Structure 1
């Protein structure tokens, strides 16, 4: 879902869900590079240590057959649904949990997650009213008419705010399925006034509505190996955890309405005019969007307002949700595209009122095509037969259909910001087909797993749409202002959706930026892209958790990225690396190194400083026979020496001369005399470790770059030094010249040639010589002193 930053400060500061455990918090090294083993859940038969689904992985399935009746006059939706629920878990279930999301619109059935409030500076007449205690029912929310089993027998249920528990007449055993039916209705809210994802928008100038029917039917909660029932209340923030299944849905609507929906329509010929149906068939082979319902037809329908009714029927296979839209205002265009890798034919279609015609007719369907083709390249081939964008003055996503914004001024003109905002929201919401509609994470718990990952690929798609596209989220420098905030305004990315204070930066921008840093700066594009594709393939049409993503990215790349997950996702420290000092040293070739004399004495017997309890007991145990007591051949000189049976003069001394170096030759001096050593000192002021990226500029105008991996900080997370040797004068050093690491203070990232006077470092020539590991060269040992060889 696309959320404007101005609406984000809605909740108070929160406590991180996962603790950033350190084995030695007071240490200045090692903690930031600890493995995540103490934080991530233990691998098991359902989820492996590699991040892949285990050999006993399972997930539930729910199939829906729904009939819906849209009453435009009464602004009411009535529905009857039959659900077949498949218990694929190893567990027996005595009750089921369902979601009643429309209860969010009720003032007496909602989750009642209140935010603090204070005295207003101003108010409106609509908002200024007496506080009702207790509150009076505003008439919104789901009204359950009946719930019965396949034989028509009533099933007991209880509603807890936005959740409903259905008690089963008998245990639903592992491997079994149950079919039951629910009849319900609710009053459709005015989405533009009351907020929320679904509802209606009213156009007073022509007296018509646009209906966006989302979270509109009672739907199954997820039951999983990692959570059991995900029945956390729907507060309007944390989105959805949903079960895959097959849908057949019939919508009875006014006859002049046009319906767009999840899935494939099975009766276009009976609901469209012959001309419209012919245009639809033409669009299936067109390389340009074809108007299936024209602008003139939409304007005509706005005025006539038919009192007849039609039923549109759709099928959708293997989807986690189902949404639809209905209005007589819609212009409808479409074209077909083919995904190269799997040869999937996809109908890309857009629905929009005349108010959006100048933008949507030109861009929407083409943006859909670009999005699914680009996402297919970076993840998996788009698997569905339909992808749709609906202009409904918002931004929200569902399988195969999404609701976006993008209206022109009344004269048909528009700003560049409106155009780019429309393109960005279409790419973002169409992209949600992948995260979380296919790669089906638990949005109620982890917003970043769909919003963050999707925003990252949205950024890649925006960049490939137009190289000058002004992307707001993805580049490292765009997250700096958020990372600069005081710690009491921040929480880790790994925080429950409901408890995030600044939702947009935390759930969208920071994870997207982190992935872009991984791709461009830490891993490189090729390695990152392979690992990201592996994650997408492993968890397509499954329920991944954060550990599955972290482990897969490590496993598929051969990179230990735990330091990055720990810092960027579990922590709130910013990046602030300072180049604090540059020291220069010149080569001194004048020193003639002299031989060194080293003295040795004879080694004393090697014994433990203390005779431990095991040795005492072993020696006292009459049942133990030591090997060297049994085999006399093992009783060598040192066996006897250790027991005082060999007498050796340990005061003997021997001296040897070590002559490893000589003065550098004139030839070496001539070729190396211009080399200077430059020691660069760095301080990690922000706390978050990152690669050190450097640009060196020399006196002759030439430049060199270097990227030091983040692991340079592993032995000292606060201060490190790195020395370079150059044969031309260095005049400046720039830290992070392309702003790749989200460094929050760039004023300490530059050195401009000022330093302390150059010191000297001696240069010798090393003589050839070899020393084998473990060999005794030049020393005198006790066997030599005693004149023995065994």
Structure 2
């Protein structure tokens, strides 16, 4: 075939003024650093090493500490007090000598002298109820916080220690060498708070019938993390950013009143001693019941226990292997149902404990939601490794290994709204999901809240959709984050901000990272690539301490996708996405040389008669747009038949497709973020077609780009991001032709008239 050219009259496919040239013009030709949105993250991420590798995987020299706990706990329900005696064995698996150990005393956030309230500003309220006035200005502070009665080494010698708010430093007489262990004992107690009054993460509640339920967590002195990234992770606990903990083995005995039912982290070691014969029989039966939950403790059992008064006690014994924390819940009002869940070749138990007040809602859904969550999370990460996952009806939402506290109750008559039901299903999914992030993929919650809350909130979307796709449609994502992202920039912080320093904790740590990962999966990477990379990250870092860099690098390493532009924009800045259609021009094809083409060839000494065979695009708004073109005489190549006969082989002519129209699409990007351009074309015959341009289309011009789109049918409408897949904050510029005027355009018209 002869040489064949297709010339565009007045534009090029991508704007000829590059991004770098624009910046140079603005800076009067001054030099500048690389400010491209596609610059690699090398400057932001820590240097890879033998512990945290460049691929995002743990290195061959990766180490982490182990801490084992043996505890005897007594719950005093008369005085709402808990006391404990615990033996801690600290394993120094690092290569460092340790002169001291840091222990977390999280209950000190409620101590009478706590500084927690002092770090936040406040203003006078317009009005105070008597109880709130008393609590704020007249009441005696709650006497919370740990009371340390003894701290001794294995030989019974007193240990020197210093308490700094919620952290306690234990000074060692001899540095703990690599590979060695240190064992010590702590005796302590504290007053349990009423969580309904102070909204704490643990505590007790009193029901209208006078009975009590306890949700107990952060209840024992816990070792802080010592790692090869930050050394001791001993940031203070101010009440918001949660906990960083080491893995270890737990042996725990908990003494409660005899009529109480209890569940906790770990496997119950003495079920025959603490359950009745009938309850134990149901307990065993539940372990092979896979389809529907059955009662271990029935509503009748719970009602009977709630009316009993006894001074006798019983002791529940639990063993938990390779967990990072321990929590429990207990009450004389608890109903307990259970169902077995098959995960490949393993069976785990799904448990729910709830009072009569929660029965109407929880009996139907709680345990089934637990099972669904375990199945979906296991599919996207790794099989759930622990023996059970328990959901406890407590009026809060909080998570611990194998056990979580979840809200959701009906009214006095057992009636509940769809909103209450949806909230309960959502919180159970979320808190059970936390078993994976961060209870197993053990990120530093205090420093990087998004690594547990945000990642977990993302997988929660998939699990909720699986449970009830009508109640939890995925179409609301990522639109749910738009309002936050286009908010006041002075009240926004990047996701990569320590949790205590964010303005909008929920949106910053939960919603925005979850929305970002949703965009990555659904729009940028696609489910197949994303799911493999995400599973790779989770598998690499289960039972280990990952950092943000490990997540970012693993996602790229396992997908062969350069996502640095996305991490930088979505996680390191407060920018938002706004992509629109700036201009659309329609072109027709002709074989008649245009003036521009003639001039272009003339520069090389080629006359009109010597120009090679070519086709030319003529814009409808140009002087050269003739009546013949307007009447579409050339659009189907009918006037070019001689040209085709001369320049195309018979095989080529047989497969030749003839676009009738060529559209020059000019996209603008007023927003800071780069994103793919998703375009929907609606033709005059009502059919539709979609085209997605990768985000890299913006790499050389961050303001606008131009593309040529050929089609055999005339376009009626063009829409950018028709399903709102990219969290676009301004939809007014997303359509062509424009159907509505922007506020600025209305303002301009008003100014002209006046």
TM-score, normalisation: structure 1: 0.82
From 110, 113, 128, the counterpart of 1:108: 113
Residues 451, 508 of structure 1: 8 Å contact kept:
yes
Q: How does 1:415-454 map to 2 (within 5 A)?
A: 415-454=417-456
CA distance in 2, matches of 1:598, 1:456: 58
Q: How far did residue 30 of structure 1 move?
A: 5.6
1:208 aligns with 2:211: yes
Q: What does residue 314 of structure 2 align with?
A: 310
Q: How far did residue 591 of structure 1 move?
A: 2.8
Q: What does residue 47 of structure 2 align with?
A: 42
Q: How far did residue 588 of structure 1 move?
A: 2.1
1:249 aligns with 2:252: yes
Q: Deviations over 1:357-380 (max 9, x none)?
A: 011111111111100011000011
CA distance in 2, matches of 1:82, 1:109: 27
Q: 1:743 to 1:276 in 2, by over 3 A?
A: same
Q: What does residue 294 of structure 1 align with?
A: 298
Q: 1:365 to 1:333 in 2, by over 3 A?
A: same
Residues 435, 454 of structure 1: 8 Å contact kept:
yes
Q: How does 1:205-604 map to 2 (within 5 A)?
A: 205-287=208-290, 288-340=292-344, 343-470=345-472, 475-591=477-593
CA distance in 1, matches of 2:657, 2:526: 35
Q: What does residue 661 of structure 1 align with?
A: 612
Q: What does residue 198 of structure 2 align with?
A: 194
SS of alignment partner, residue 661 of structure 1:
coil
Q: Which runs of 5+ in 2 are unaligned?
A: 1-22, 616-639, 646-655, 740-754
TM-score, normalisation: structure 2: 0.86
From 131, 137, 144, the counterpart of 1:126: 131
1:734 aligns with 2:719: yes
1:169 aligns with 2:154: no
State which structure, 1 or 2, has the greater radius of gyration over its C-alpha atoms. Answer: 1
Q: 1:307 to 1:562 in 2, by over 3 A?
A: same
Q: Deviations over 1:35-92 (max 9, x none)?
A: 0000000001110011011110000000000000000001100100000000001100
Q: What does residue 89 of structure 1 align with?
A: 94
CA distance in 2, matches of 1:106, 1:471: 44
Q: Deviations over 1:338-386 (max 9, x none)?
A: 211xx22211111000000011111111111100011000011100011
Residues 86, 175 of structure 1: 8 Å contact kept:
yes
CA distance in 2, matches of 1:78, 1:250: 12
Residues 474, 513 of structure 1: 8 Å contact kept:
no
Q: What does residue 70 of structure 2 align with?
A: 65
Q: Which runs of 5+ in 1 are unaligned?
A: 1-22, 601-654, 755-790
Q: How far did residue 126 of structure 1 move?
A: 2.0
Q: 1:596 to 1:141 in 2, by over 3 A?
A: closer
Q: How far did residue 676 of structure 1 move?
A: 1.8
Q: 1:337 to 1:147 in 2, by over 3 A?
A: same
Q: What does residue 736 of structure 2 align with?
A: 751
Residues 75, 254 of structure 2: 8 Å contact kept:
yes
Q: What does residue 75 of structure 1 align with?
A: 80
Is the deviation greater in 189-198 or in 658-667? 658-667
1:717 aligns with 2:721: no
Q: 1:506 to 1:668 in 2, by over 3 A?
A: farther
Residues 682, 716 of structure 2: 8 Å contact kept:
yes
CA distance in 2, matches of 1:572, 1:688: 9
SS of alignment partner, residue 128 of structure 1:
helix
Q: How does 1:643-722 map to 2 (within 5 A)?
A: 661-662=612-613, 665-667=640-642, 675-722=660-707
CA distance in 1, matches of 2:372, 2:105: 35
Q: What does residue 620 of structure 2 align with?
A: none
CA distance in 2, matches of 1:599, 1:667: 27
CA distance in 2, matches of 1:226, 1:442: 11
CA distance in 2, matches of 1:575, 1:522: 14
Q: 1:751 to 1:668 in 2, by over 3 A?
A: farther
Residues 51, 551 of structure 1: 8 Å contact kept:
yes
Q: How far did residue 752 of structure 1 move?
A: 2.5
Is the deviation greater in 114-123 or in 147-156? 114-123
Q: 1:673 to 1:330 in 2, by over 3 A?
A: closer
Q: How far did residue 398 of structure 1 move?
A: 0.1
From 149, 155, 158, the counterpart of 1:151: 155
Q: 1:657 to 1:682 in 2, by over 3 A?
A: closer
Residues 465, 474 of structure 2: 8 Å contact kept:
no
Q: Deviations over 1:650-704 (max 9, x none)?
A: xxxxx99995612665255697876222111111111111000000011111111
SS of alignment partner, residue 130 of structure 2:
coil
Q: Deviations over 1:167-188 (max 9, x none)?
A: 1121100110010000000000
CA distance in 1, matches of 2:454, 2:584: 39
CA distance in 1, matches of 2:461, 2:33: 36
1:182 aligns with 2:193: no
CA distance in 2, matches of 1:599, 1:375: 65
Q: Deviations over 1:389-431 (max 9, x none)?
A: 0001110000000000111122222111111110000000000
Residues 529, 559 of structure 2: 8 Å contact kept:
yes
Task: Report how many aligned residue pairs link the two structures.
Answer: 674
Residues 659, 710 of structure 2: 8 Å contact kept:
no
Residues 394, 407 of structure 2: 8 Å contact kept:
yes
Residues 455, 473 of structure 1: 8 Å contact kept:
no
CA distance in 2, matches of 1:143, 1:324: 20
CA distance in 2, matches of 1:669, 1:486: 59
Is the deviation greater in 409-418 or in 690-699? 409-418
Residues 477, 515 of structure 2: 8 Å contact kept:
yes
SS of alignment partner, residue 557 of structure 1:
coil
RMSD of equivalent CA atoms: 2.4
Q: 1:494 to 1:558 in 2, by over 3 A?
A: same
Q: 1:554 to 1:66 in 2, by over 3 A?
A: same
Q: What does residue 60 of structure 2 align with?
A: 55
